[in-house]
Structure 1
Amino acid sequence: MAQEIHNDQIKNLLSSVVNNAPYGMIAIDNFDQIVLVNEQAISFLKLDVNPNDLNELVIFDQIKHVEQLYLKLNQIVKNQYQDFNIDALPFDDKFLNFRGRKIKEGYIVTIEDITRDKEMEMVALNSMLEGQELERRRIAKEIHDGIGPSLSTVRLLLENVSSENNRLDNAKFSTQMSVIFDMIDSLTGDIRNISHQLMPKLLIDFGIIPALENLINRINKAERIKIILFHSILSERFPELIELGLYRICQELINNSVKHSSASEVQVQLIEHPDSIILMVEDNGCGFDKTSVMKENPGVGLINVESRTNAFGGNFILDTAISKGVTATIEIPLEK
């Protein structure tokens, strides 16, 4: 009798520890059935589950709405179970960390709410990106207002020298001046392009669609690739940082397709929803092995895309395989 009371006390103590833990907890047996779940896990994942009535509840039937967790657990089961981590998964209005650990009797999944940490990280990243954009704007203004006029003045002076020299019929010197003029014209064009890249005037003055149309038209003229833009944008303007972010992301993804994909066509779609904007860039190129590339050498371009997307609290999905082209989807939330 005393032993039974002692066992009941231990069970009650363990139950109290689980239910009052600062993180969610789900225990799953080797038949994929839930044997324990606490209120924190139910709250975090919006589960329709009674923790006191878990009669033959299969975990996969309960978490279909948490897509990334559902896919990860399915993958784990096929591989005969192994430990896993999912960091900063956006779900509902939170960011959640998941830790899955294999035990003899089945599986333990813990869930930690890191929303506050993620928000602080996003604030810091936003500040960094905003600082970068301000610096780019400053440099663009210096190039446009300083270097450009100076080069124009130099050209006028050289034209005068050349004109006087022509009266002396110095053919060799005239040829040299012609070469210099060509070099200056080329340099002026380069500086103009740099200025547009640093701070696209169309974007600042007219918004994301005219800026993307201009970007795409310039690339179509310069490269052997066809880029097509589709959009369903109804709003006149969006917050400046979001427009700049979308422009930079699109610029990076198009640049990747032009340089690395061997594609003949790229489709760019920008879709406005009530609570978000979706950017999709899809090419018909050679694609790549996503698993190995993202693990071993994702490249600066993809890292920049992911960082910018995360800075806005958005989602970045990359869908590709060898010979299957690349589809990049970015969803940026809008504050109403």
Structure 2
Amino acid sequence: MRAALILLALLFSVAAYAQTLQTDSLINLAKKEKNDSVKVARLYEIAKKYAAVSEPEMDRYFKEGMLLAQSKKLFTLYQQGMNDQAVQYLLKGKYDKALAITDTAVAAGIKNKVADEFARTYFVKTNIYYALKSYTESNRFAKMALAMYTQTNNKLRLGNVSQSIGNNHYALGEFDDALKYYYDASAFYEQAKAFDMQAQIYSNLGVMNVNLKNFDIAEGFYNKALAIYIKGKNANGELLTNYNIGALLHGQKKYKEAATVSEQTLRLSRSLQNKKVETSSLSVLASCFERLNDTAKAEYYFNELFTTLERYNDDESLVIAYNNYAMFISGLNQIDKAITYQYKAIAIARSEVGLKKYMHSLFSTLSSFYNAKNDYAQAFAYKDSQQIYKEAVINETSNNKLLELQTKYETQQKEGKILLLSKADSIKSLQILAQQSAIDRNLYSIAQQQLALAEDSILLFTQNEVILQGKLDASLKEEKINALTKEGLQKQLALQQEQAAAAQKRQVLYFLLIGTLLTSALVFLAFYQRSKKKQANAEALAQKNLLQSVLETEEKERSRIAKDLHDGIVQDLTSIKFNLQSAAQTAPGLLQEQIQTIFKAVDTAAKDVREISYQMMPLTLKELGLVKAIEELLGRSLAKNNIQHHFEHFGIEERLPEKIEVTVYRICQELVNNTIKHSGATEVSLLLQLRNNVLQLTYEDNGRGFNVATTQKGIGLNSLGSRVEMVKGSLEFDASAETGTTAYIRIPVS
């Protein structure tokens, strides 16, 4: 262990050294740069590379670049550094830090008068407040940025800001204002020839007009966006816009046209491997052909949808699809088939915590199916279940709304304080802009004076030319002197080159040594870990084999004892009963009563022995299979204890492997015994389903639950875990004193 830690420390040191070399190389590249503007840009580039690795290093290089820009009076680059740093914190989700940086940037922008980058500062603030869902505050800064970009006539930036304002109005539900700014953004993007951005705006306008029920206008915008995407060969944009058009036509009940568009969308989504659009298109197609009364095509697309959702393991969408299909075929008077698919939807929703929100709706639909069959008892029972789940969802929703209102109240208080501060900033900004205008007029006057001085400078230049000629003659003399020393400098240069070559050789040897040490360390560590893993695997395998041997031996012994009891003692007791009956017929009256008493005792003993034989190894499991054996187990064990039970099973059409059938039966037997002995339950529900080669068992009772984390495991729980592990399955408990116990068991079936 100590050796492994030393090796890890060595590896860490070498990795840190390599990182330091890379950092030094980047710093040296920046240090060698003579142009200050390029140097600042490179420092910002280094900072961005470190954004995902080390926040302190990122801040360090941004600071170094901004200090250099400030010292050289490169105010635009200085402003850019603060904007870039704020954007990095925005991307990290650290909004308070990003806002603090932009506050500093606003003060710098007012002071240094850098138009485009100052406007960008306000735009960065716009995006931060949008991320914080403070849409009103986001709009305030966006409009300040819009005013500044209008002065610089930056069409692309004007488009970006207008789109952001539109997004804010859309989020606030102010659709008319959102439309206005989306139209403006579209015009700016067209002038800037940013056609993909323009297409995105057209898509947004389409969505907006759908919300405003302007369907024809929405379709027009979608078609404009589609034309741009096709021309620009933007396949993803074409895919999403096609889907929006199909959904729009479906909403207008133009099912034939919607089906044509959705079939194109389906083909394109499969070529681009877009899972979400593929499944959504299948759902739209199934709905279209259902409403066109084309039962064959509706069935085809529903089955395609089921297969696709199962392949993608999208259980939530599968629950919705099964429910929609059940309602579809119920309209065709296929009520029994509809009930089967509704049970499938319920089984999936019940087995996953996140899907229980659908339970009340699923039970309500199932109740209507039984009502259509005139099975009013079942309809009433499932209506009662629907009400229970509905109340649970309402309680959860109410709690969430209370939390949301509290958060909204606290956010509004903060926004109020920010708004007061922002008003003061705006007043200062106007005052400074007025001062800036006066300064610009003074600068114009100074420029005229400088022009006059430039004319005088031309005369001085002529005089300086004569002086420079004299200096040129002197430099020629110095060149002759330098030629004499050139030979000495060449010798010195050769010596320096030899020293550099020697240093390079030493560096190569040093790296070779580090590489050798690193390789040796990796080989040793790999060998150590492999040996340790091999030993652990051997121990685990031995323990698993021992456990399997014990359980197999136990099953064989159970089977032997059950056979001995059934073929031996039970037969003997039966023979004794016949003999007693025969003796009772000829015995005197008093003796006849005694014989009847003995007969009853023998009969009771025979039944008890037969029950013990059944518990040891039920004949039904061997001859009829798992499903019939479980039905008999529940009937025999729970009925005599006045416990109601519900047993449902899906997908088990054939016999399962003997080992799995015996294991699942023993698990059910242990769960039933626990319910009878410990829970005090009055109702038990058991669901058994085979899906995607996985056997899923869900067992619920309404008795007293137990704390899974704190309850000490006894023989029963340990036996359950061992049996599940033996068939490579998984076991989970969900138990509480109020809701009873639920066991989830999953076993792979090859």
Fold in common (TM above 0.5): yes
The answer as to whether partners of 1:140 and 1:199 remain within 8 angstroms in 2 is yes
Do the aligned partners of residues 116 and 162 (structure 1) sit closer, same or farther apart at CA in structure 2, a change above 3 Å counting? same
Residue 125 of structure 1: which of 531, 547, 557 is its match?
547
CA distance in 2, matches of 1:12, 1:133: 49
CA distance in 2, matches of 1:138, 1:233: 32
Residue 153 of structure 1: which of 575, 578, 583 is its match?
575
Which residue does the alignment assign to 1:319? Answer: 734
Greater relative CO (CA pairs within 8 A, separation 6+): 1
Which residue does the alignment assign to 1:14? Answer: 10
Per-residue deviation, 1:144: 1.2
Identify, as 1 or 2, the structure richer in strand.
Answer: 1
Q: Which runs of 5+ in 2 are unaligned?
A: 1-5, 16-50, 56-528
AA aligned to 2:540 is K
The answer as to whether partners of 2:637 and 2:672 remain within 8 angstroms in 1 is no
CA distance in 1, matches of 2:738, 2:8: 57
Residue 55 of structure 1: which of 42, 53, 56 is its match?
53
The answer as to whether partners of 1:126 and 1:312 remain within 8 angstroms in 2 is no
CA distance in 2, matches of 1:17, 1:317: 43
CA distance in 2, matches of 1:315, 1:278: 10
CA distance in 2, matches of 1:18, 1:143: 72
Residue 142 of structure 1: which of 549, 555, 564 is its match?
564
Do the aligned partners of residues 18 and 127 (structure 1) sit closer, same or farther apart at CA in structure 2, a change above 3 Å counting? farther
Which residue does the alignment assign to 2:662? Answer: 244
CA distance in 2, matches of 1:12, 1:150: 73
User: Secondary structure at the residue paired with 2:545?
Assistant: helix
Aligned counterparts, 1:174-213, within 5 A: 174-213=592-631
Do the aligned partners of residues 18 and 144 (structure 1) sit closer, same or farther apart at CA in structure 2, a change above 3 Å counting? farther
Identify, as 1 or 2, the structure richer in helix.
Answer: 2
AA aligned to 2:568 is G
The answer as to whether partners of 1:254 and 1:281 remain within 8 angstroms in 2 is no
Do the aligned partners of residues 225 and 18 (structure 1) sit closer, same or farther apart at CA in structure 2, a change above 3 Å counting? farther
Per-residue deviation, 1:12: 8.7
Per-residue deviation, 1:290: 2.4
The answer as to whether partners of 2:729 and 2:748 remain within 8 angstroms in 1 is yes
Which residue does the alignment assign to 2:177? Answer: none
User: Secondary structure at the residue paired with 1:272?
Assistant: strand
CA distance in 2, matches of 1:128, 1:122: 10
CA deviation digits over 1:104-126, x for unaligned, max 9?
xxxxxx9x855554343322222
Do the aligned partners of residues 273 and 117 (structure 1) sit closer, same or farther apart at CA in structure 2, a change above 3 Å counting? farther
Residue 261 of structure 1: which of 659, 679, 690 is its match?
679
Do the aligned partners of residues 18 and 274 (structure 1) sit closer, same or farther apart at CA in structure 2, a change above 3 Å counting? farther
CA distance in 1, matches of 2:675, 2:13: 53
Per-residue deviation, 1:216: 1.0
CA distance in 1, matches of 2:14, 2:748: 35
Of the structure 1 ranges 281-290 and 205-214, higher mean CA displacement relative to structure 2 is found in 281-290
Do the aligned partners of residues 188 and 17 (structure 1) sit closer, same or farther apart at CA in structure 2, a change above 3 Å counting? farther
CA distance in 2, matches of 1:300, 1:142: 26
Between the two proteins, the alignment pairs up a number of residues equal to: 234
> Would you say 1:309 and 2:724 are equivalent positions?
yes
Do the aligned partners of residues 281 and 14 (structure 1) sit closer, same or farther apart at CA in structure 2, a change above 3 Å counting? same
User: Secondary structure at the residue paired with 2:542?
Assistant: helix
CA deviation digits over 1:40-66, x for unaligned, max 9?
xxxxxxxxxxxxx98269xxxxxxxxx
Of the structure 1 ranges 303-312 and 231-240, higher mean CA displacement relative to structure 2 is found in 231-240
Which residue does the alignment assign to 2:39? Answer: none
Q: RMSD of the alignment, in Å?
A: 2.9
CA deviation digits over 1:194-235, x for unaligned, max 9?
111111111011111000011111134311111111111324
CA distance in 2, matches of 1:176, 1:214: 36
Per-residue deviation, 1:282: 0.8
User: Secondary structure at the residue paired with 1:290?
Assistant: coil
CA deviation digits over 1:49-96, x for unaligned, max 9?
xxxx98269xxxxxxxxxxxxxxxxxxxxxxxxxxxxxxxxxxxxxxx
AA aligned to 1:298 is K
User: Secondary structure at the residue paired with 1:291?
Assistant: coil
Do the aligned partners of residues 330 and 185 (structure 1) sit closer, same or farther apart at CA in structure 2, a change above 3 Å counting? same
Do the aligned partners of residues 274 and 117 (structure 1) sit closer, same or farther apart at CA in structure 2, a change above 3 Å counting? farther
> Would you say 1:298 and 2:713 are equivalent positions?
yes
Larger-gyration structure (1/2): 2
Which residue does the alignment assign to 1:103? Answer: none
CA distance in 2, matches of 1:127, 1:273: 29
CA deviation digits over 1:212-267, x for unaligned, max 9?
01111113431111111111132411111111110011111111112211222111
AA aligned to 2:721 is E
Do the aligned partners of residues 290 and 157 (structure 1) sit closer, same or farther apart at CA in structure 2, a change above 3 Å counting? same
The answer as to whether partners of 1:288 and 1:323 remain within 8 angstroms in 2 is no
Do the aligned partners of residues 327 and 12 (structure 1) sit closer, same or farther apart at CA in structure 2, a change above 3 Å counting? closer
CA distance in 2, matches of 1:298, 1:12: 39
CA deviation digits over 1:261-297, x for unaligned, max 9?
122211111121333212121111121222221xxx3
> Would you say 1:331 and 2:709 are equivalent positions?
no
CA deviation digits over 1:289-323, x for unaligned, max 9?
22221xxx322211111111122222111111222
User: Secondary structure at the residue paired with 1:328?
Assistant: strand
Percent sequence identity is: 35
CA distance in 2, matches of 1:17, 1:238: 56
The answer as to whether partners of 2:566 and 2:613 remain within 8 angstroms in 1 is yes
Q: Structure 1 length as normaliser, TM-score?
A: 0.63
Which residue does the alignment assign to 1:89? Answer: none
Aligned counterparts, 1:55-94, within 5 A: 55=53
AA aligned to 1:190 is D
CA distance in 1, matches of 2:691, 2:716: 26
Do the aligned partners of residues 148 and 18 (structure 1) sit closer, same or farther apart at CA in structure 2, a change above 3 Å counting? farther
Q: Which runs of 5+ in 1 are unaligned?
A: 1-9, 20-52, 58-109
